[in-house]
Chain A
Amino acid sequence: MTGLYVVFRVAEAEYAVPAAHVLQLESFSGVTAVPGTLPHVTGIVQVRGRIVPIIDLRLLFGEPEAEALLDTRIVIVELGERTVGLRVDSSREVLKLEAEQFHVTPTVVTDRSRGFVSGVARVGPRLLMLLNLVKVLGEEELHDDSDHILDDGSAGRRALPG
C-alpha cells in the first residue's frame, strides 16, 4: 500500500489513485461526444495521438454534472492494456502514503460507493478515498458481458435515443 498517490477532488470529496497507474494529467479542453455510450462516458479525447475515452467521475458517482472550470483535469490512467481518462474537479497533489495510514473501509462506504472505493487513508485531518480502478473502468462487468468481441458491441448499452 505504501507508495505515491495522485490525489484529486470530485464533488467536495478527495480521492487517490496509485501514481504508478497515472500516465499524465491534462487540463480539460472539451471532449468529442460518442452517442450510445454509458451515461458517465462523456466522450473521447486525443492525447498525444492516442484516442482515450473519458469517464466523468461526477456522473459515475451520481453527483450533479458540473461545468468545466480552469481547475478541471483529466487524469489519464492505465490499467493493463487500457488507457482511460477520468474527469475530476481538480488535481493538485501527489502524496506519499504509508501503509499505516490506510484504514479498513467501513462497509457502509463500500456499499454506498458501489465498490468504487477500495480503502480510506487518513492524512492529518483529511480522509482520502482510494479508488478501485478496475471497478471504475468497468472491467469486471465487461468480462461478464460476452458481447464486446468486435468493434461495435452493443449489449448492455444505453440504447440509442429514440
Chain B
Amino acid sequence: MPAPHLAEFVSAYVLEAEEHLSTANTHLLATETAIRAGESNLRGVREVFRALHTVKGLSAMVGVEPVVVLSHRMEALLRTADRTHARLPLGAVDVLLRGVQAIEQRVSAFRDGRAVEPAPVGLLREIDAFDAEAPESLAGARLALDLPPELSSKLGAAELEQLQIGLAGGKQALCVTFEPSTEKAERGVTIKAVRDALERLGDIVKVVPVSLQGSASGAGLAFAIIMLTLHEQAQIALAIEGQLAVSSVAAPGTPAEPVLTSELEIAEPEHDFEAQQQGFVRVNVTRLDESVERLSALIVNRFRMNRAIAKLTSAGVDTRELLQIQNESGRQLRDLRGAIFRVRMVPTADLLERIPLLVRGLRRAVDRLVSVQIDAGTTEVDKAVAERLFPALVHLVRNAVDHAIESPDERLRRGKPQEGLLKISCAARSDTWLELLVEDDGRGIDGEAIARKARRDVPASEAALLELLCAPGLSTREVATTTSGRGMGMEIVKRIVEQLGGELSLRTQLGVGSTFVLRVPLSLSIVDGFSFECGQQRFVVPVSSVDEIIEVEDSALVRSPSSARGGLPVSMLERRGRVVPLLSLAGVLGLSGGGSDKKAMIVRRGAEAVAFAVERMLGQQEVVVRPLEDELVRVPGVAGATDLGDGKPTLVLDLAGLGAAVNRRQLELHS
C-alpha cells in the first residue's frame, strides 16, 4: 500500500508550487514595467529567482522532472543576470513568463493526474539564448558519483550540472536519507522539516522518493536527499535529532572544471519574509466545512434544549436561569459560527493579482496600450465567492481592453494619454458585502448605438442600459475581435453576480469611460443539491443530507394507526431490515398535493431514519445557499434559498432538521 500521507503531500506540493509561481509572475510583471521605465529591478529578479528555486526543489521532491528542468534553466538565466548586474532584456522577461506558464501547465497536469509533458525544447533554447553563461552542454560530461543506480538514474542533466558546478566550487556532495513515519511526524519531524533544516546548511540538488521494501515503519517510503554543502558530514547528520543517514557522493575537486565564483545568495531568506510565513496554516476547505457541520449539530441540540425548557416552564418550573444560560450559549454559537466563516476568508488581493497577467496577454492580442492599477486594500472574501467571481472579472477586464479602451492613435486624437488606464479596486461595504469596481477611461458605452443594434428603445437610465447590455444573446460588438464579443460576456457577468446573491451596476459617460460595480456577499455556502418537486413547488436539498432515494411502491407500505389521532398520516416501509417511517413532504410542509408521490428520500439523524415522499426528482446541481437573514422567515427545516436560474428564490430544505422535528412531534402525540 502506498504511504497514506503521499496524497496529502502531493496536494501540499501543488499548493506551494502555485503560490511560488504566482509570486514569480507578479515580480516578472513588475520587472517588465521597471525595464520599460528604464530602471532595473534587482529585488524583483531575486524574488523570481527565489521562487523558481523553491519550485525546482519541491518538484524534484515529487519527481516532476520537466518542471525541474524548466525552472533550473530559468534560474540559471536569472543567476547570470544577477551576477553580471546586467539589465534583463524585455525579451528575456517574456521568455521567463512563458516559462512560468509552461511550469504552471505541468503542475496542474500533475495535480489532475494527467501525463506531464516534457519541457519544451524550443522554449529551453530560447531561455538559454538569453543566458550569456549557459553551459554549452554539460549534460554530456561524466561525473563520477558514488550512488546506487536507482538514484543516479533519477538525476537529470540539470542536477548533474548543478552538482558539477558545486563540486567545482569546493562543496561536497552528500546523500542524506530520511525515513518518515507517523511517530516522527507527531514530533514535527517531517520531510518538509528535514528539507528546511538542510536548506539552511547547503543547497538541495534533488530529493528522490525511494520505496523501502518490508520496512518497519509501515509507510514503506523514504527520501534520498542529494545536496551540496560546505559543512561536515557529521554536522548534516545531526541537523534533525540524529534522524538522518548521510553518505558522501563525491568530494570536491572531482571534475577538473574552472572554478566559478560569486554564488547568488539564496540560503538566507529575508527576515520579513520569514515573519510573514509564520502563523499561517494551509487548510483544505472541506475540513472547514466539516467543522460547520459539527456546529450545525450543536445548533440542533440547542433547539431541543429550548423545547425541553419550554416544557418545564409550562409545567410551572422557574426556568429563568436556564433561559439565561441558553441565551448565552446561543450567542456563543453565533460567535463560533462567525469565527469559522472568517477562517474561510482569503485576501481579495490574491484574487486580483492574476489580473495584470491577463491584461498583458490581451493587450498584445488587440494592440492596445493599457496600464493596470489594482487596489485591493485589506479586504477579504470567502474562498468560494472569490472563485466564482473571477470569471466575471475576467469578462469585464476583457471587455475593457478589447472594446472600451481606444487604440493609441484614437486616444491621441481625443486628447487622452496614449496609454489607457484600467483600475480595479474593492472595498468592504459592511460586514457582509464587498464592492468591486472595474473602471476604464475608454470610450464609454453608447446607449443609442446599442439600442439601435438591438432594435430596442434607447435606455433612459444607466440601469436600463445595463439591463439591455445583459439581455440574453445580445451581441453589440461593432468590430469583431478574436478575444470576445461584448454581449455574451455581459450576460454571464450578470448571472454570476446574481447567483452569488449580488448586484451589478454601471456608470458610464461617453468619451470618458465606464465603471462596473459588482456588489457581492463576502461569504456564502455552496452545496451540491438535489432539486425536486413537491406540492407543485420546487425545492432543493443538499445531496450530503440524503442517505438514498427510493421508489415509493404502495404495496410495500404499511399504514400506522397514528393518523387517526390527528397526526400526519404515517406509512412505514422496510429498508435494509429496518422499519422507516414514510411521510409525505407536502403534508409536513402543509402544501396541497402529495397524493401522487413517486419517490422518497431517506434522511438519517443519528440512529433515526425518516423517508420523505415527493412527487418527482428533477436533477442534481451545485447551488449557492443564501441564508434567510430576516427574522420573519427564519424557520426550522429551511436552510436558505437559492436561485435555480429563473430569478425566483427556491427553498433549500434541511430535511434532517425537519425529520427530527417530525419525530419529536410523533413521540409527543403518542405519549
Contacts and interface: CB of A to CB of B under 8 A. Distances in A.
A126 to B, nearest CB: 31
Query: Considering residues A35, A41, A84, A146, which has the most beta carbons from chain B within 10 angstroms of its beta carbon?
Result: A35
Interface in B467-526: 497-498, 500-503
A35 B631 CA distance: 14
A44 B588 contact: no
A147 B309 CA distance: 12
B647 A152 contact: no
A108 interface: no
B395 to A, nearest CB: 17
B635 A152 contact: yes
Contact of B587 (A32, A55, A155, A162): A162
Interface in B289-311: 299, 302-303, 306, 310
A142 interface: yes
B279 to A, nearest CB: 30
B634 A151 contact: yes
A146 B651 CA distance: 25
A153 B648 CA distance: 24
User: Looking at chain B, what size class is its interface with the partner chain?
Assistant: 35 or more
Interface string B339-350: 000000000000
Given A51-B629, A53-B630, A160-B661, A33 B588 contact: no
B638 A34 contact: yes
Contact of A149 (B331, B503, B591): B331
Contact of B303 (A46, A138, A152): A152
B377 interface: no
A157 interface: yes
B627 A151 contact: yes
A48 interface: yes
Contacts of A142: 631
Nearest to B669: A162
A24 to B, nearest CB: 11
Interface in B597-645: 626-641, 643
B633 A34 contact: yes
Nearest to A155: B306
Contact of B638 (A36, A48, A150, A161): A36
Contacts of A82: 630
B568 A32 contact: no
Interface in A33-75: 33-38, 41, 43-46, 48-53, 55
Nearest to B587: A162
Contacts of B628: 34, 44, 51, 53, 151
A35 B589 contact: yes
Nearest to A149: B330
Given A35-B589, A161-B590, A30 B634 contact: no
A6 B302 CA distance: 43
29 contacts: A32-B650, A34-B633, A37-B635, A44-B628, A44-B641, A45-B648, A46-B641, A46-B649, A49-B500, A49-B501, A49-B503, A50-B503, A51-B628, A51-B629, A53-B632, A146-B330, A147-B306, A149-B331, A151-B299, A151-B627, A151-B639, A152-B639, A152-B654, A154-B636, A160-B588, A161-B590, A162-B568, A162-B588, A162-B662
Interface of A: 30, 32-38, 41, 43-46, 48-53, 55, 82-84, 137-138, 142, 146-155, 157, 160-162
Interface of B: 299, 302-303, 306, 310, 323, 327, 330-331, 333-334, 337, 497-498, 500-503, 537, 567-568, 587-591, 626-641, 643, 647-651, 654, 657-658, 661-662, 665
Complex A-B, nearest 3 residue pairs according to Cβ-Cβ distance, in ascending order: A161-B590, A149-B330, A36-B635
